[in-house]
Structure 1
Amino acid sequence: MTPEELFADMLAHGEMVLERLDDVAARLPDKTFIHYGEDNVRLSFAEFRDRSDAIAAGLVAMGLPRGQPVSVLTRNSLVAALAMFGIWRAGGVYAPVNFNFTGPLLSYQLRDTNPFALITDPSFAPVLGGIVDEIPLQRLIVHTPAPADHDATGERFGPEFSRLEVSEFAALLRSPGPAPRFVFRPFDPANIVYTSGTTGPSKGVLQPYRWLNNYLHMMRRMTTADDVIYCDLPMYHVGGAFFLLARAVWQGNTVGLWDKFSPNKFWDRIAECGASTCVLLDVMVPWLMSAPPRDNDRANTLNKVHMQPLPPNHHEVARRFGFDFVTSGFGQTESGLGFAGVIDQFDDAEGTPGHLWKGYSKADLLARCREADRPVLDGAGPVPKGFMGAPNQVYEVAILDEDDNRLPPGEVGQLAFRPRYPGLLLLEYFGKPEATARVLRTCWFHTGDACRELPEMPGVYSFVDRMGGFFRVRGENVSSYEVEALLARHDKVRAAAAVPVPAREGSEEDIAVFIELVEGEIMDEAELREHARAMMPKYMQPAHVRFIDALPLTPTSKIEKYKLKRQIMEELGL
């Protein structure tokens, strides 16, 4: 397909996520949309539309101005999903918050977003109570679980929240309506999703509605309405909220929804919802592989599995569990899905048993990949390290040097995108015009990632490394700036430097930190770790701690992190 044909195909299947929900709810009102396994809740497309419409009516009645963000902080994925569609319908901007954040990280994001309201639940009363006086929040909308619900904790919002207007999420669900029916344009803002900052605090990525359509288009082409999508990724990430859940309304897919990944319950969940496609992130793969093999490992419904990053043992994993197709690619909060590739793990042999198969036949799926110029590799053969596949043709792609000159195939440089059509990239970093201008300089979007085009496979690209100071830890982007800044809040710490090392599990990274103390101070590792636990979520906490007399500096006083990384790698024997 030419770029023009691919873009036309994207638009032909519907541009706006809310229009797609309305269409499916009208055509298939009784089909299950959400199979929420945590509390055994089933919502049809019509029921989900009606509930999210009621939320929208309630938000408008509260006075939500069109285009204003509403933040969502909850582990309950069903509440987050309903809130997301309700916020969109009300003309607001969905602004999810990482539920692992506490203290400064949480305070910063809520101050930076300055939302009209925060939708949350009582389990966050303690962490919100510690920052409520630091944030300009005016309204809380509280999902209060029933005593028998899986997320009931017994917590409650105390008097420290008395200055806020507090209402119940359940009351929103009973709003009499009518729900607004705004006319949305492709460039209207839909979401603010925060991504790690490498030289400063995290930045909110303001995404338009067309960004959603483009992000989901290539994976929609691989599925039919018969596919069932499994989702256990959080609703504060583009993967869970959009790639898995929002994608379903384009074709009318059922989504098996859980709050978090469980290696012990994974296969029971797949059987319960009959999922044919899912996403496995890094450490999930070795956790599943660590279970003792069984004779019936292939007796499951999964036939299309997206692995990010692609593990070296992908073929072994696929052969054990019967995954006929493994997809991989390159996606970002700012640019969506820029690359995609497919690995055929079984060729003509059977992976998923025929009576459990859902979606396109193997032959039809391969034909659709060829039509869209998706490379299909043989899983039994060599797959390039860092395989990203081929570019999404709605983008022009380049590998650039430090002066933004194009590099030839084989050479490593910074991956950059230039959209062929408007609305495919972020609108801006929310409230940060200088950062927006930097990342879009010379009319290229600079990804911050080092990649190369494979000379032996023209048009196919591989990921090499991250160029900025951020790491990938258990599916999360972690900013070295934020790790260092939070550790340096301790009175005894003069400076901190964080470097990545290969993870003890999976193919991502662990964090090693080097600590320089204030002169005359004494600290041990236990004290530093206690401080880290109080200041940052578990995935940000360092795996390795080293104290150092003085951090090595360049003549311009920049920390020479390459020396620190070399030191810790040698010490760990890596």
Structure 2
Amino acid sequence: MIRQRVLDVPATARTLGSIARHKAEKNGDKIYLRFGKREISYRAFHEITNRLARGLQQLGVEAGQHVAFMMDNKPEQLLLYFAIGKMGAVSIPVNSAAKGDLFAYYLNQSDSVVLILDAGLIERYQAIEEQCPNITKVILLNEAGGAVDLSIGKDLRAEVYDYQALLDAPADDLPDDLARISDFAIMMYTSGTTGPSKGNMVPHGRLIGGAIDHVEIFGYQPDDVLYTCLPLFHGNALNTSAIPAFLADATFVLSPRFSASRFWDEIRENGVTAFSLLGAMVNFLWAQPESPRDKDNKVRLCMMVPVPDFAREFEKRYGVKVTSVYALSDYGFITFLSPAHPPAKWKSAGLPATGMTISIRDDEDNPLPPGVPGEICARCDVPWITSLGYYKMPEATVEANRNQWFHTGDRGYLDEDGYLYFVDRKKDAIRRRGENISSYEVEQIVLGHAAVEDAAAYAVRSEMSEDEVMVSVTLKHGATLDPADLIRYCAKNMAYFMVPRYVEILPELPRTMTEKVEKYKLKESAQARLNEIWDREAAGIVVNRHTN
């Protein structure tokens, strides 16, 4: 493994709480977090998270309990991760686009007892409160800052509090023994394919250990500025930018959301030296008109997942170095493509992470030789640097870890030098604009429509070479259905990014002898005649985060 910086992190500083205290003592008033005009130093970050943790304790929240929060990108989200971790509780980040049955599922499956959310999202919770009896406290955050008018929650069964009031608690340190490196710190949901989304139990050790790997392999220095516009309720923003910047004694810049037209201006304005891009984000930036200012930036490293064919041209155009990783919310970081790796390996996902072993296996779990694609499997001999399993899903945990290997559900191959090359996903998941979408969840919600008898959701490729959601449905006898009506139904009951773009009504779905839908047949047929299929964008129906 190629190392570019060796971190001196005490063995006692391997939890979110202990690392916050360690970095506050080391870096003091140096700016850690920047969000627009807001700046928070390392010392202030530690003190604020102490206050939040103690404020939650004063409300009766205890170690081991699960605290959900749902909000758009803002410093409070990152502060809550650390505060909840400090008190030995578990963070449940909820996608801010979730609504209806999906929102209720996250809260119930995670056993959350407290919900913290942007005040502007309260109607989302009011609509499902009767489905969520375990939520006893709702804490509202004023998106514009300042106090919240708590009367907006007067009709809730749960007790309602103001987030700002939590900050009145003392700022003194919490006891060290509330959290250990092996303790469950964060639940990250991943898309289900043969069932509902699974909650990945992420220990403190994985959060800190993965960040140490990032800093050492990519050589992040105290004068670096790491940037993300990806949502903090996803693992990428947290684990490739926010926490690595913290471990590197660097500055972390958080943006509300991705904008291709504003992206490079933000990079220049903040003096960014490293950032991460997912999926079609790269395509959108590449499609922007060339400008004399393209190389007018301080960026050293640009992480792309996956690495596109035009990565070399991207490097030349913007004057950056492309890096990559192969990682899963279900497990952790498996490989890193370092800037020091041979140029000939630029299309790979790099070499195994610390303590990681990779094996490519066939459908019978037999190992395959270099160059032959199969399922990517991994195992690690470093304690607590991978996920602990799926919450309340022991069978799925055992299945994923069969024969002492974690099975990723992805296909790839190793070359003769041990570099990993990603080929495709075995999992029946859809990835749209950086969002992982469970086809199962789309199907379950579509099946709730009164006219629908059966449904199959799957990915088709769009103009930007990324996944778009398509659904094929059959109708109940005598029923009729306008595709636009189905879209409106979906928009009310699922996150906006899950809402299908393409809808096709069929007399029947192709099935195997065991009654499983043959989605590959649907996909092949649809892809070949996509311009003939009903398309909500062509129909002029707009679905976004503001759609009611």
TM-score, shorter chain, exceeding 0.5: yes
Answer whether contact 1:214 1:336 (CA < 8 A) is retained.
no
Partner of 2:176: 182
Partner of residue 480 from structure 1, selected from 439, 442, 453: 439
- The structure 2 residue matched to 1:145, chosen from 143, 146, 162, is 143
Q: Does 1:405 align with 2:366?
A: yes
Query: CA separation of 1:158/1:56 partners in 2, compared to 1, >3 Å: closer, same or farther?
Result: closer
Going from structure 1 to structure 2, the CA distance change for 1:572 and 1:155 (only over 3 Å counts) comes to farther
How many angstroms apart in 2 are the aligned matches of 1:93 and 1:395? 26
- Is 2:402 aligned against 1:444? no
| In 2, Cα distance between equivalents of 1:400 and 1:172 | 51
Residues 77 and 234, structure 1, Cα contact 8 Å, conserved in 2: no
> Could you list the runs of 5+ residues in structure 2 that have no partner in the other structure?
533-548
Q: How far does residue 267 in structure 1 lie from its aligned partner after superposition?
A: 2.1
Relative distance call for 1:75 and 1:573 in structure 2 (3 A) is: closer
Whichever residue aligns with residue 77 of structure 1, its letter is K
Does structure 2 retain, via aligned residues, the 8 Å contact 1:341–1:376?
Answer: no
- Give the Cα–Cα distance (whole angstroms) in 1 for the partners of residues 517 and 154 of structure 2: 46
Does the 8 Å contact 1:14/1:250 carry over to 2? no
Deviation at 1:287, TM superposition (A): 2.3
2:379 aligns with one of 412, 418, 425: 418
Summarize deviations over 1:432-451 as a string: whole Å, max 9, x none. 21211111121111111111
Determine the C-alpha separation between the residues in 2 that align with 1:110 and 1:554.
35
Q: Which residue matches 2:539?
A: none
* Aligned counterpart, 1:121: 118
Q: Match of 1:157, SS?
A: helix
Paired with 2:19 and 2:387, the residues of 1 have a C-alpha distance of: 22
Using the TM superposition, give the Cα deviation of residue 164 of structure 1 relative to its aligned residue in structure 2, in angstroms: 1.1
- Alignment of 1:527 with 2:485, yes or no, is yes
Contact 1:17 1:249 in 2 (8 A): no
Match of 1:341 in 2: 337
Query: Residues 408, 9 of structure 1: CA spacing in aligned structure 2 closer, same or farther, 3 A cutoff?
Result: farther
User: Does the residue aligned with 1:447 lie in a helix, a strand or coil?
Assistant: strand
User: What's the counterpart of residue 210 of structure 1?
Assistant: 205
* Cα shift readout 1:263-289 (whole Å, capped 9, x = no counterpart): 222222212221100111222223223
Q: How far apart are the structure 2 equivalents of 1:262 and 1:570?
A: 31
Amino acid at match of 2:436: N
2:257 corresponding residue in structure 1: 260
CA contact (8 A) 1:187 1:209 kept: yes
Mapped partners of 2:182, 2:390: distance in 1:
15
Distance 1:245 1:293 in 2: 30
RMSD of equivalent CA atoms: 2.5
Cα distance, 1:546 vs. partner?
A: 1.1
Q: Give me the whole-angstrom Cα distance separating, in 1, the residues matched to 2:6 and 2:403.
A: 24
**Distance of 1:315 and 1:2 partners within structure 2:** 22
TM-score, length basis structure 1: 0.87
Shift of 1:10: 8.1
Give the aligned partner of residue 355 of structure 1: none
Residue matched to 1:463 = 422
Label 1:200 to 1:489 Cα distance change in 2 as closer, same or farther (>3 A): same
**SS state of the match for residue 139, structure 2?**
strand
Deviates more, 1:174-183 or 1:111-120: 174-183
The C-alpha deviation readout for 1:15-41, integer Å capped at 9, x for no partner, is: 33332322221122111111111xx11
Matched-pair contact (CA < 8 Å) for 1:59–1:172? yes
Identity of aligned residues (%): 32
Question: Of the candidates 67, 72, 84, which is equivalent to residue 70 of structure 1?
Answer: 67
How far the C-alpha of 1:155 sits from its partner, in A, is: 10
Counterpart of 1:369 in structure 2 is none
2:543 alignment counterpart? none
Q: Unpaired segments of 5 or more residues in structure 1?
A: 344-365, 367-374
Call closer, same or farther: CA 1:225–1:13 in 2, change over 3 Å.
Answer: farther
Q: Distance in 2 between matches of 1:300 and 1:178?
A: 40
**CA distance 1:573–1:400, shift in 2 (3 Å):** farther
How far residue 551 of structure 1 moved from its aligned partner, in angstroms, is: 0.4
Query: Structure 2 counterpart of 1:568, which letter?
Result: A
CA distance in 2, matches of 1:159, 1:329: 47
> Contact 1:140/1:167 (CA < 8 Å) preserved in 2?
yes
Mapped to 2, the partners of 1:434 and 1:285 lie a distance apart of: 37
Counterpart in the other structure of 2:542: none
